[in-house]
Amino acid sequence: MASSTSTPVPTRRSVTVLAGGVGGGRFARGVRHLARQQDLDVTVVVNTGDDLWLTGLRVCPDLDSVMYALADANDTERGWGRAGESERVSAELTAYGVGWPWFTLGDLDLGTHIARTAMLRDGDDLTRATARLAARWALDVTLLPVTDDEVPTLVDVDRPDGTRDRIHFEEWWVRHRAAIPTHGFVQQGVERASVSAAAAAAIRGADVVLLAPSNPVVSIGTMLGVPGVREALAAARGPVVGVAPVIGGRPVRGMADVCCAVVGVEATAAGIARHYGARRDGGLLDAWLVDEVDADSAAELQRDGLRTRAVPLWMTDDDATADMARAALALGLEARGA
Ligand code: FO1
């Protein structure tokens, strides 16, 4: 009797990325570019702290930034919203005094918000609605909100008259450009929230988990604040590798330095690594990637026991970003082998 020696089919390796909006979308494109070369399954778990109800619609800025970037449908100049956008409906909304005149909802972008709101009203949770929206674009990547619960990031600020106010993150970020006295960030309702089952499984089960070079406070930090996320990272069977969001002490994009100052984190490659902490000390990281200009901090972190590598971190195009992802995966596998 011939013995059936079924050669085990190698299971595809999986990578889960935790990401915010603009930087997250660009990084996700690079990971996908690599995945297509190395036959990897990619899941991107995205921050939902920026999400809000506006003009009766559910707007999810970071999920949309990542989705549009992966769909090649994003406005690469502005860094958010759709390419080839128009603003006819937005002008009508402003004329009616509905919504925020300083927060532009483009016509194509409104299509996404209307579709998402319709799906939510149909009874879909955000995970399901996100999957349905993403299916239209055939992204080759699974897109997951970090939670299905509404946990808006609010910001405690001083009004011009000196009194305190608590405003939505998007008002702080877009209307005020973070240029008002700021006391802290609050995740409203976080105590009643939990990481989604799909996101927790994607983090626990991945061969490697990557922290995108997103804002360590209001993107990655906000996700870490959702109950269950830290536990999922601690229980992750794969190594957790972070990518520094600052190069030479300056944020690659956005306002990581402003946000770090608000919460007292040193906005450097070493400062953020220490803020995330080494996994073996109860923190997040098995390894950390810094840019070559921060090679000295790499040596310093390595001495402190955090496996660190200095590689080019400018996400100038998909190839450059894929090289970053490749270095992160290699460092992660090295860390796990150790
Ligand atoms: N950013 C702006 O600077 N100005 C805007 O008018 C604006 C509108 C907007 C509408 C929908 C959306 O999903 C994002 C939008 N953004 C806008 C970007 C948004 O502030 C950022 O994508 C993130 O929230 C910050 O990471």
* CATH number, position 277: 3.40.50.10680
Closest residue to atom 13 of ligand 1, CA basis: 61
Centroid of ligand 1 to alpha carbon of 111 (angstroms)? 16
If one residue of 109, 155, 174 were mutated to test the ligand 1 pocket, choosing by the most ligand atoms within 8 A of its CB, it would be 174
- Which residues 6+ apart lie within 8 Å of 190 measured at CB? 151, 225, 226, 227
Residue 18 domain-assigned (yes or no):
yes
Locate the ligand 1 atom nearest the alpha carbon of residue 103 and give its number. Answer: 6
pLDDT at position 212, please? 98
In-domain check, residue 289: yes
Helices 269-276 and 295-303, interaxial angle, to 10°?
30
On whether residue 108 sits in a domain, the answer given is no
What is the whole-number distance in angstroms between the Cα of residue 263 and the centre of ligand 1?
22
Ligand 1 in contact with 245 (CB < 6 A)? no
Instruction: From 26, 80, 253, give the residue whose CB has the most ligand 1 atoms within 8 Å, as the site to mutate.
Output: 80
Ligand 1 pocket residue status of 28, Cβ below 6 Å: no
For residue 51 and ligand 1, the question of a CB distance below 6 A is answered with no
The tally of domains found in the chain comes to 1
Beta-strand pair 307-310/13-19: unpaired
Q: What share of the chain is helix, strand, coil (3-state, %, to 5)?
A: 40, 20, 40
Span 155-202, pLDDT tens digits: 999 999 999 999 999 999 999 999 999 999 999 999 999 999 999 999
The C-alpha atoms of residue 325 and residue 295 are separated, in whole angstroms, by: 18
Any ligand 1 atom below 6 A from CB of 103: yes
Question: Does the beta carbon of 59 lie inside 6 Å of ligand 1?
Answer: yes
C-beta of 294 in contact with ligand 1 (< 6 A): no
Residue 195 CA: distances (Å) to CA of 52, 88, 200, 211 = 18, 37, 6, 16
Percentage of the residues of the chain whose pLDDT score is greater than 90: 89
In a domain, 60, yes or no: no
Residue 31 lies in a domain: yes
In a domain, 64, yes or no: no
pLDDT of residue 3: 53
Q: Which residues of the chain have pLDDT under 70?
A: 1-6, 10
Residue 261 lies in a domain: yes
Which pLDDT does position 253 carry in this prediction? 73
- Written as one string, the DSSP assignment of 42-91 is EEEEE--TT-EEETTEEE-HHHHHHHHHHTT-B-TTTSSSBTT---HHHH
- pLDDT, one tens digit per residue, over 267-307 is 999 999 999 999 999 999 999 999 999 999 998 999 888 99
Q: What is the pLDDT of residue 1?
A: 46
**Domain encompassing residue 331:** 14-49+190-337
Does any ligand 1 atom lie closer than 6 A to the CB of residue 104? yes
Query: Considering the domain boundaries, does residue 84 fall inside one?
Result: no
Q: What is the pTM of this model?
A: 0.96
CA atoms of 302 and 304, how far apart (whole Å):
5
